[in-house]
Each structure stands twice: as structure tokens, then as C-alpha cells.
Amino acid sequence: MKSLFEQNELAGIPLKNRLIRSATHEAMADEAGRPREQLARLYERLSRGGIGAIISGFLGVHRQSHGYPHMMLLDRDEHIPDYQALLEPTKKQGTPVIAQVAHLGGKFHASMVKSDVLAPSTKNYAPFGVKARAMTPGEIEETIDAFVQAIRRCREAGFDGVQVHAAHGYLLSEFLSPHCNRRTDSWGGDTERRFRIVGEIMRGARQEVGDYPLLLKISGHDWDKNGMTVPEAIKLARLFQEAGGDAVEVSSGGVNALDMSRTAKIPVEAILNLDPQYTKYHPGAKKILAVLLPLGVKNPRPIYNYNVEAAARIKEQLDIPVIVVGGLRKLDEMEQVITEGKADYVALCRPLIIEPALVENFLNGKQDRSKCIDCDYCLLGVLAGPLRCYMGKLPG
């Protein structure tokens, strides 16, 4: 039987326990997408805090996928030394760092749009205020190459592995989901065709980086009409395994509901005061929006452990390890996930924003649950400044 605090290997990477920091966009990059020193300090704090491995915030693979303020980019070789510098302190401490590579597709923040927003099929992304157009086959090939080259750069920069982001309604997730991918060419249609873009990235990456650890993050389910379901996610995860993938992280959420990071209450105050789309609105308009916004956004339940059952069902059908993320807050419940074999790893995002040393505190017996209140202000906060915990309150 596995246990949460045992030493282990994930795709050959040594980990001191089975707790992983899930990818968290830190908004700590400069205008060109190079990580700032502040990010190295955050990774150092997380590393000292006892986490088994860190997955970085998303790193854009192409200039075209630079869709959030202060997002990292690894679209060119000149940036490699900046990432080597980022990893130096954590390397000394022996905590592995896995890079998450992404293309944001249609889920692009309106303030960042400089050219066409691309998606598998034409779509209005109302909450983001953008309209995406369908990619041409040439643009799909260019994007595959951008992923492959970014993965090569990650290895050269010293990341211990790469996670390809195919969850939460971003570009690859849009290709996987029948809700967003309505293409009738060889990049859309049945499961195999919708998976093709990820399969091609894997094929190209294996040629470039050999047996370097390659992970995938997928949504096990979402709330989109004709969207992702667990049986479909099982098929996709199996295709990833056949393509030589090393591990799958199971999350949830597509392009519509607030499902990725579930919350007790839609964070209306944070949306209206931290998201640059709304900050300029007249106070009267904000009052009306404060009433309308919660009516227009689906806010799924339960808010804790919401991907554990999906992860367990996907794990049953796979030989490679499964990581679960989403609302895990109590130590005994994390232990149970591992001892009952529902997943091989537990990943945490928001709990490590409020307490980077949470794992150390679990080990010392100082606490047995996260202090995170799931307010989701952090999620809006990264549109206004670097990642931080707000504890449900705007700064005075």
C-alpha cells in the first residue's frame, strides 16, 4: 500500500513525498515573459516548505499564447538562461521543478489581445470578452512545433520534466473537447482525431528530448454542453499513455463554469475590482453587475475533493501514475486518497498560496488542514498583480 509521505519516483524523478504543487500562474514574469527574481524566491519558499515537487505556472509556448498579464513565455532560446537562474535555488535544495507548457487558445484575457485569438473552431468567449477564430491547418502545425521546441528549451533550462496543459478550456483542452472542437478535418471528430494535436506534440517531443518526463493535465469532466466526461477522459488518458506519456493529472473545468478552482461564492467583489475588464466601470454599472454576475456563472458543487472519483476511475484504466487536484484541504483525506489507491499523488494549488510551508506543518503536526477559505480572490488577483493570498478581502 502506498503512503503520502513515502519517498518515490515519478517518471524517474525522485520525490520525497506524494504531494505536488499544482501549476499556479504566478504573474511574476516581465513584459517579455522572463521570470522575475521574485518567482525564484517563491519556488525556494515552496521547496523549504516540504512539497515533493513543484509544477510551474503556465509557460506560453508561442508569442501568440501570451494571454495573461505577466505570464511566462519560453518561445525563444534567448530566454533559457533566465529559466536556468530561476531553477538554481530549488536545484540546490533538491526539490524537482516541472514546467507546465501551454497555449491559451480562446481563453485569452481581452487586455492582452494583440493579434487574432485562435481556437479549434470559431467561438465567442463571453466572460473573457474575446472572439476566437478557427485555426488553419498551417497554424496547428506551427503550434505543435512551438510546443515541441518549448519542451526542448525546458529540458535545456534544467526543468526536471514537463507537463503539457490540456485542461481548463485552454487550447489543447479545446481540441480534446467536442464542445469546442467542431472541426470536420483530421483535427476534429472522434476521440482519436481530437487527441491528434496532443499525439503529434508527444511524437515531436520524444524525437527532441528522448525519455525526458512528459506529463499531461486534463479535465476529467466539465459543465459544457457536449463537453468532457469521465469515459471520454479515460479514452484520452489511454491515448496519452500509448503515445509514451509518463503521468496524468486529473482536474476539471472547460470554458464555461467556474469549475477549475471551486468556491463557495462567486467572488463578485474581486471580479469587479481586480479584473481590468471591469475596474474602469462606473460604480452604478458595477452595482448592477454585482447582481447579474452570480446569475450568469455556473458555480458547481461540491467544493472539496471534487476530482477524486474521476481520478480513481481514470487510474483504474491506466498503468502510468495519476495525480489528483481540486479542493483537497484535509491531511486525513489526502492520506486516504493515496492509501485507498484512488490516485498516486495529491496536488495542491490554493492551499500553498496561503501557506507555502503547509507540508512541513503537516509533518510537524502543527496543523491537519489548510487554512485556505476558497474565496478565489487569488484567481482574479493575478490579473492585477503578482500571486498572493487575499483571504477574501481586497487590500485596504
Ligand X SMILES: Cc1cc2nc3c(=O)[nH]c(=O)nc-3n(C[C@H](O)[C@H](O)[C@H](O)COP(=O)(O)O)c2cc1C
Single-letter amino acid code for the residue at 344: D
CB of 376 to ligand X, least distance (A): 7
Q: Which three cell numbers stand for residue 240?
A: 496519452
Residue 271 found at the interface with ligand X (CB under 6 A): no
Q: How many CB atoms lie within 10 A of CB 70?
A: 22
Q: What is the C-alpha to C-alpha distance for residues 86 and 33, in angstroms, rounded to an integer?
A: 13
Residue 305 found at the interface with ligand X (CB under 6 A): no
Single-letter amino acid code for the residue at 216: L
Residue 165 found at the interface with ligand X (CB under 6 A): yes
CB of 325 to ligand X, least distance (A): 4
Identity of the residue, 79 or 183, whose beta carbon is nearer to ligand X in the bound complex: 79
Q: What is the C-alpha to C-alpha distance for residues 242 and 35, in angstroms, rounded to an integer?
A: 34
Pair 371, 354: CB distance under 8 Å? yes
* Binding span for ligand X by CB under 6 A among 4-12, 19-27, 78-86, 278-286: 19-27
Residue 248 found at the interface with ligand X (CB under 6 A): no
User: What contacts 24+ positions apart, CB below 8 Å, involve 1-6?
Assistant: 1/339, 1/341, 2/338, 2/339, 2/341, 2/344, 3/335, 3/338, 3/339, 4/334, 4/335, 4/338, 4/339, 4/346, 5/363
Q: What is the C-alpha to C-alpha distance for residues 169 and 238, in angstroms, rounded to an integer?
A: 20
Residue 23 found at the interface with ligand X (CB under 6 A): yes
Query: Using CB under 6 A, which residues numbered 202 to 241 contact ligand X?
Result: 217
CB of 57 to ligand X, least distance (A): 4
Residue 24 found at the interface with ligand X (CB under 6 A): yes
Identity of the residue, 67 or 120, whose beta carbon is nearer to ligand X in the bound complex: 67
Single-letter amino acid code for the residue at 299: N
CB of 24 to ligand X, least distance (A): 4
Strand order in the sheet with 130-134: 117-119, 130-134, 123-125
Single-letter amino acid code for the residue at 16: K
Residue 103 found at the interface with ligand X (CB under 6 A): no
CB of 298 to ligand X, least distance (A): 16
Q: What is the C-alpha to C-alpha distance for residues 124 and 120, in angstroms, rounded to an integer?
A: 12
Between CA 131 and CA 210, with CA 168 as vertex, the angle to 5 degrees is: 110
* Binding span for ligand X by CB under 6 A among 75-83, 188-196, 308-316, 323-331: 323-331
Q: What is the C-alpha to C-alpha distance for residues 114 and 129, in angstroms, rounded to an integer?
A: 14
CB of 251 to ligand X, least distance (A): 4
CB of 26 to ligand X, least distance (A): 8
* Binding span for ligand X by CB under 6 A among 5-13, 35-43, 164-172, 289-297: 164-172
Identity of the residue, 23 or 97, whose beta carbon is nearer to ligand X in the bound complex: 23
Identity of the residue, 102 or 157, whose beta carbon is nearer to ligand X in the bound complex: 102
Residue 106 found at the interface with ligand X (CB under 6 A): no
Residue 107 found at the interface with ligand X (CB under 6 A): no
Residue 350 found at the interface with ligand X (CB under 6 A): yes
Residue 22 found at the interface with ligand X (CB under 6 A): yes
Bridge partners, 124 (sequence order): 131
| Given 260, 320, 343, 375, the residue binding ligand X (CB under 6 A) | 260
What is the DSSP track for 32-80?
A: TSPBPHHHHHHHHHHHHTT-SEEEEEEEESSGGG--STT-EE--SGGGH
Q: What are the residues binding ligand X (CB under 6 A)?
A: 22-25, 57-58, 100, 165, 167-168, 217, 251, 260-261, 325-327, 348-351, 378-379, 382, 387
